[in-house]
Amino acid sequence: MKFVDEFRDIELVRNLSAKIHEITTKEWTIMEICGGQTHCIMRYNLEEFLPEKIRLVHGPGCPVCVTPLEIIDKAVRIAQREDVIFTSFGDMLRVPGSEKDLMSVKAGGGDVRILYSPLDAIKIAEDNPDKKVVFFAIGFETTAPANAMAVKEASRRGLKNFSILSSHVLVPPAMEVILSSEQNRIEGFLAAGHVCTVMGYEEYIPIAGKYRIPIVVTGFEPVDILKGICHVVMQLEEGRYEVENAYGRVVSREGNLAARKLLKDVYDVTDMKWRGIGNIPLSGFRLASKYGEFNAEQIFDVGDIVQQESPLCIAGEVLQGLKKPGDCSAFGRECKPEHPLGAPMVSSEGACSAYYRFKKTEGMET
Interface contacts to other proteins, rule CB under 8 A: 1-4, 6-7, 9, 11-12, 14-16, 18-19, 22, 34-36, 61-64, 89, 91, 116-120, 138-140, 142-143, 145-146, 149, 152-153, 156, 192, 194-195, 197-198, 220, 223, 227, 234, 238, 248-252, 256, 258-259, 262, 347, 349
Q: Give the containing element (helix H, strand E) for 189.
A: strand 188-192
Give the whole-angstrom CA distance, residue 37 versus residue 295: 32
CB of 329 to other proteins, least distance (A): 27
DSSP states of 60-89 as a string?
EE-HHHHS-HHHHHHHHHHHT-TTEEEEE-
**Measured on CA atoms in the order 150, 156, 157, 159, is the torsion positive or negative?**
positive
If the CB atoms of residues 35 and 110 are measured against other proteins, the closer one turns out to be 35
Smallest gap from residue 114 Cβ to other proteins (A): 12
Nearer to other proteins, 97 or 118 (CB): 118
To 5 degrees, how large is the angle CA 31–CA 35–CA 36? 110
Query: Bridge partners of 270?
Result: 284
Cβ proximity to other proteins: between 81 and 152 the closer is 152
Query: Which helix (H) or strand (E) covers residue 104, if one does?
Result: helix 102-107
Q: How far is the CB of 157 from other proteins (least distance, A)?
A: 9
Closest CB to other proteins among residues 228, 325: 228
Residue closer to other proteins (CB basis): 143 or 305: 143
Q: What CA–CA distance (Å, rounded) separates 40 from 251?
A: 19
The distance of closest approach from Cβ of residue 259 to other proteins in the complex, given in angstroms and rounded to an integer, is 5
Task: Find the shortest distance in angstroms from Cβ 269 to other proteins.
Answer: 19
Nearer to other proteins, 257 or 312 (CB): 257
* Radius of gyration, CA atoms only, the chain: 21
Q: Please, which residue, 235 or 305, has the CB nearer to other proteins?
A: 235
User: Nearest distance from residue 250's CB to other proteins, in Å?
Assistant: 5
Cβ contacts of 269 within 8 Å, gap of 6 or more: 170, 282, 284, 285
User: Whole-angstrom Cα distance, residue 272 to residue 264?
Assistant: 17
Shortest reach from residue 130's CB to other proteins, in Å: 25
Pick the closer one to other proteins by CB: 261 or 360: 261
Cα–Cα dist 136/50, whole Å: 39
- Residue 112 CB, shortest distance to other proteins, in Å, is 18
**Closest CA relative to residue 283, chosen from 296, 295, 268, 294:** 268
Closest CA to 164 of 63, 71, 90: 71
